Amino acid sequence: MEFADPKSDIAFKKLFADQKHSCILISFLNSILQKKDGEKILQVKISDPNNQPLALEYKLSIVDVRCTDEQGKHYIVEMQVAAQRDFFSQVQYYSALALSRQLKKGWEYRKLKSIISVNVVDFKLNTDSKEYLTHHLTIDSSTGKQSLKLFEFHFIELSKFQKKLSQLKTIEDKWIYLLKNAAKMEAKPKSLSQEEEIEHALQILNMATWSDKEHENYEKFLDAERVVKDVRETAIAKANAQGLEKGREEGREEGHAKAMIKIARNMLKSGMSKKEISKITGLTDTQLKNIKGKS
């Protein structure tokens, strides 16, 4: 049995962007956001499931799904594959845009609904913390009270998640394990299949059930990902090679200059004229004056 990597465009959207399978997205959000009974999301309306960035590298970096729940709260579920230095700023910017777009002409601010940003990243985002799942709210620094409730940010750092199947206790851990390891699994683990929505997700990720077009798109995505990776690695290797050669050249120049200065110093001591020394060593009058001053 072959499972698709859920971090790819088509697999991620098959899991979370299909209204027919909204139970999967609901389960994922309720578990990651650690919703308790009485506050759990019961329904979502998925919007813009075909959101396609124009640039190839941007497409390989970000795949997002947008939805609203029955209370009108807006959710942005985003997958980030390639490391990005300004990701925290980017996430806040997108959330601010999503909030501003709610405010229609004549509306009052009290009608604005919360923006909940859930971000799955395949790199270490916060090097100051070992936690793979973090939640960020805007709170009063002295009282801890949350008066500013329109923004929430949640981050899942797959590279920090090291739990094995036998260590999975919570449903959020099972979801994270699936997102990180689906492509490496050879069969459906029983411990994952016990959860109805995760079993459903495994069925969707089973490539044997995919259409020819879906297989083709998946292979195109993987190939494009390999091309971008190769371009980056080639650029880095070229830059390193140029830097190494430049360093060698600078080293040679520095060594030559030191040798000429040493020779010139001996010539000056022997009484040779500066003009003759300059002609032999290639040193300037200023350099020769400095040598004389130091000797």
Higher pLDDT: 106 or 193? It is: 193
Task: Specify the range with the lowest mean pLDDT, choosing from 5-9, 60-64, 222-226.
Answer: 60-64
pLDDT at 59 over 60: no
CA distances 242 to 5, 173, 238, 258, Å, are 36, 45, 6, 24
Q: What is the DSSP letter of 206?
A: B
pLDDT for position 263 = 76
pLDDT at 152 over 80: yes
Beta-carbon neighbour count of residue 16 at 10 Å? 27
Residue type, 97: L
Task: Specify the range with the lowest mean pLDDT, choosing from 2-6, 49-53, 264-268, 274-278.
Answer: 49-53
pLDDT for position 249 = 64
pLDDT for position 219 = 86
Token pair listed for 259: 């040798």
pLDDT in tens, 213-242: 888 888 887 777 777 677 667 867 776 777
Residue 246's pLDDT band (boundaries 50, 70, 90)? Answer: low
> In angstroms, how far is CA 259 from the centroid of its own chain?
50
pLDDT at 143 over 90: yes
Q: Are 277 and 288 in contact (CB under 8 A)?
A: yes
Q: Are 153 and 131 in contact (CB under 8 A)?
A: no
pLDDT in tens, 267-288: 777 677 777 777 667 778 788 8
The domain segmentation of the chain, as residue ranges, is: 9-209, 234-294
Radius of gyration of the chain (CA): 30
Taking residues 57-78, what's their average pLDDT? Answer: 74
pLDDT in tens, 72-111: 889 999 888 777 778 899 899 999 998 998 888 778 888 8
Higher pLDDT: 252 or 285? It is: 285
Q: Are 175 and 28 in contact (CB under 8 A)?
A: yes
The pTM of the full predicted model, rounded to 2 decimals, is: 0.72
pLDDT for position 54 = 35
Sign of CA dihedral 118, 122, 126, 129: positive
pLDDT for position 6 = 87
pLDDT for position 238 = 75
Q: Is 9 helix (H, G, I), strand (E, B) or coil?
A: helix
Average pLDDT, the chain: 82
pLDDT for position 127 = 80
d(CA 286, CA 295): 14
pLDDT at 31 over 90: yes
φ, ψ (nearest 5 deg) of residue 25: -65, -40
Taking residues 14-34, what's their average pLDDT? Answer: 91
Higher pLDDT: 138 or 126? It is: 138
Q: Is 11 helix (H, G, I), strand (E, B) or coil?
A: helix
What spatial distance separates the first Cα and last Cα of the chain, rounded to whole Å?
Answer: 80
Token pair listed for 287: 């350099």
